Amino acid sequence: MSGEDTVGSGAGVSQGVAGDAEEGASDIQRVVQWLIVLALVYALMIAVGLLSQGFRSVSGGAAGATAIFEFATNPIVGVLLGVLATSLVQSSSAVTSVIVGLVGGGLPVAMAIPMIMGSNMGTTVTNTLAALGNLREDKAFNRSFSAATVHDFFNLFTILIFLPIEMLFHPLERLAGYLAKLFEGSGDASMRDFDFIRTITRPVINALRDLIGLLPDQISGFVMIVVGIAAVLGVVYALNKSLKAVMTGKAQRVFNAAVGKSAALAVLSGLVVTLIVQSSTLTTVLIVPMAGAGVFTLAQVYPFTLGANLGTPITALLAATAVTGEYELFALQVALVHLLYNGFGVALFAAIPPLWRLPMQAAQALANGAERSRLVVFGYILGVFFVLPGLVFAAQSFFGNKSPEVLEAEHKEAVYQAVMKEIEEKGVEIE
C-alpha cells in the first residue's frame, strides 16, 4: 500500500468518525430541544391553572357565578352573564355546578340553556390571552391571535344561530330531556380517575397558591392573576421560539399528518387530545404557540379547535353518569344540552361552506387589525369578555332586575347546595 493510500484511508476514517460524532451531537441536541418543549408545555399547564385559581379567588368561584346569574331575567341577558361568569370565575366546573344546581332547585332548563351558551364562549378568554405572548412579533402574533379568536367567533356565530331557534322551538331542551331519561341509571362512565393531567399539575398549582396565599387575602387573588398571566405570556413566547427549532423535517410531517391532512382528521385530533387532557381550554391554549411558530395554519387550527369543542361535553356527559340519585337527571340534561349544542354547531358549519369559512374570515380580519394596532387586542378582550357583559350586569344590578326563577331555585338551599357539591366533585364541566 502506498503512503498516499494510507493517508487517504486515514483521512476517510477521520471524516467518518467526525461525521458520526456530529450526528450524535445533533441527536442529543434534538432530544434536549424536545425536553425543553415538554417542560414549557408543563409550565403552560401550571400557568393556566394558577391563573384559573386567581380568578376563582377574586370572583368568589361558584358563589360569585351564582350572584351573577341572579340577574339573568331573559335569554339574551342569560348569554351575556354566562360569558361574564365564566370569564371571571375561570372554572368551568364551578359554573356548571351552579347551572345544574339551579336546575335542580327548579330553574326551567329553557332559562339555563342561554347561560350554557354564554359559558361556552366565556372559557375561550384564556387562549385569547395566550396569544399575547407573541405581541412583539407582528407575523407570529397575527398567526397566534387569529388561531385563538377563531374559537371565539365560532362560538359567537353559533350563539347567533341557535339562540333564536332555541327560544322559538326549544329543540335542545326537548331532545336533551328525552335522551337524559334514556341515559338515567346507565352506570358510572366518568373519566375523572384517568385525569392524569390534574394529577401531575395540581400539586404544583396548589403549592404556588398556598405560597401566594401567605399574602393578605385582599391581594393574594390578584397576585395569582398577575403571576398567572405573566407566566402564560412568557411561556408562550418561549414555546414559539422552541417550536421553530424542533418543528422541522420528520417532526413537521408527523404533526401535519395528524392535523393538516383534512378537516375531519383535525376535528378528530382535537377531540382525542381533549378527551386525554380533559380540558378544551388547555387544548386550545397549547395550539396557539404552535400556530404562532408557523407549525399550523389557521385553516388547520380551526377544525382542531372544533374537535376540542366536542371533547369537553363528551367528558362532561361521562362525568354526569357518576351523579346518582335524585340529581342525576338534572346533571345529564345539562351535559346533553352542551353536547348537542356543540355537536349541532359543528355539523351545521361543516355542512355549509360559506358558514364554515365565516369564523376564519372574522378571526383573520381581527388579527390583521390587531397587527396594525395593539389597541384592537385589548379592546376586543376587555370589550367582549368583560365590559359589555359587565355593563349589562351593572345595569341589571342598578335597577334591581333579579330573576324570580333563579332566586326561587336558590331558596331551595338544601337541594341547590347538594347538587352543586356533587356536580363539582364529579367534574362535570362546560368549556
**Half-sphere exposure (CA, 13 Å, Cβ side) for 323?**
33
The stretch 178-185 carries a mean pLDDT of 82
Q: How far apart are CA 8 and CA 381, in angstroms?
A: 67
C-alpha cell belonging to residue 130 = 395566550
Q: Tell me what pLDDT residue 151 has.
A: 93
Amino acid making up residue 378: F
Q: How far apart are CA 134 and CA 143, in angstroms?
A: 9
Radius of gyration of the chain, Cα coordinates, nearest whole angstrom: 24
C-alpha cell belonging to residue 174 = 326537548
Q: Among 12, 276, 11, 240, which Cα is nearest to 139's? A: 240
- Number of CB atoms found within 10 A of residue 87's CB: 24
Lowest-pLDDT range of 14-23, 38-47, 382-391? 14-23
C-alpha cell belonging to residue 44 = 403552560
Q: Among 236, 294, 198, which Cα is nearest to 41's? A: 236
Q: Tell me what pLDDT residue 227 has.
A: 93
> Which sequence spans correspond to the domains of the chain?
60-195+247-426
Q: How far apart are CA 315 and CA 275, in angstroms?
A: 6
Confidence of residue 114 (pLDDT cuts 50, 70, 90): very high
8 A C-beta contact, residue 93 and residue 424? yes
3-state secondary structure of 146: helix
8 A C-beta contact, residue 320 and residue 172? no
3-state secondary structure of 172: helix
8 A C-beta contact, residue 338 and residue 300? no
8 A C-beta contact, residue 284 and residue 308? yes
Question: Would you state the torsion angle of the CA atoms of residues 391, 392, 397, 400, taken in this order, to the nearest 10 degrees?
Answer: 140
Res. 58: pLDDT tops 80: yes
Give percent of the chain above pLDDT 70: 84
Kindly give, in sequence order, each residue whose CB lies less than 8 Å from that of residue 260, ignoring residues fewer than 6 positions away. 266, 296, 297, 300
The stretch 305-330 carries a mean pLDDT of 76
Question: Strands (DSSP E) along 314-369, which ranges?
Answer: none
pLDDT tens digits for range 319-339? 677 666 666 787 788 889 989
- Alpha helix segments (H runs only) across 184-216: 196-212
pLDDT tens digits for range 351-394? 999 999 999 999 999 999 999 998 999 999 999 999 999 999 99
The chain-wide mean pLDDT, for the chain, equals: 84
8 A C-beta contact, residue 342 and residue 301? no
Q: How far apart are CA 296 and CA 304, in angstroms?
A: 10
C-alpha cell belonging to residue 424 = 363539582
Confidence of residue 430 (pLDDT cuts 50, 70, 90): low
Q: How far apart are CA 56 and CA 220, in angstroms?
A: 11
- What is the dihedral sign for C-alpha 210, 211, 217, 218? negative
Lowest-pLDDT range of 18-22, 112-116, 138-142? 18-22
The stretch 276-290 carries a mean pLDDT of 83
pLDDT tens digits for range 137-168? 889 999 999 999 999 999 999 999 999 999 99
The stretch 243-271 carries a mean pLDDT of 78
C-alpha cell belonging to residue 60 = 368568589
